[in-house]
Amino acid sequence: MPKDTRVVADVTTDPVTDATGKTAVLYRMSLPDHLCPSGQKARWLLKSKGYDVDDRVFRTRPEIDAFKEEYSVSTTPQVWIEGKRIGGYSDLRELLTGYDPKATTYSPVIYLFAVAAATALALSIGFLGTLSWQTLGWFISVSMILLGMQKLRDIEGFTTMFLNYDLLAQKWVPYAYVYPWVETGAGILMTGMLLTPLAAPAALFIATVGAISVFKAVYIDKRELKCACVGGNSNVPLGFVSLTENLMMMGMGIAMLALVID
The predicted structure's pLDDT at residue 93 = 96
CA dist 214 → 191, 196, 199, 240 (Å): 26, 26, 22, 9
Candidates 53, 250, 38; CA nearest to 144 is 250
The predicted structure's pLDDT at residue 21 = 93
Q: Give the pLDDT band of residue 103 (cuts 50, 70, 90).
A: confident
Mean pLDDT of 76-101: 94
Is the Cβ–Cβ distance between 207 and 242 less than 8 Å?
A: no
> Which amino acid is present at 62?
P
Q: Give the pLDDT band of residue 127 (cuts 50, 70, 90).
A: very high
Task: Please tell me the distance from the alpha carbon of residue 78 to that of residue 80, in angstroms, as a whole number.
Answer: 7
How far does CA 117 lie from the centroid of its chain?
Answer: 18
Domain range summary for the chain, segments of one domain joined by +: 5-97, 107-261
The predicted structure's pLDDT at residue 1 = 58
Mean pLDDT of 7-17: 91
Going 70 to 71 to 77 to 82, the CA torsion angle's sign is negative
Q: Give the pLDDT band of residue 195 (cuts 50, 70, 90).
A: very high
- C-beta neighbour count of 60 within 10 angstroms: 13
Region 5-97: CATH code? 3.40.30.10
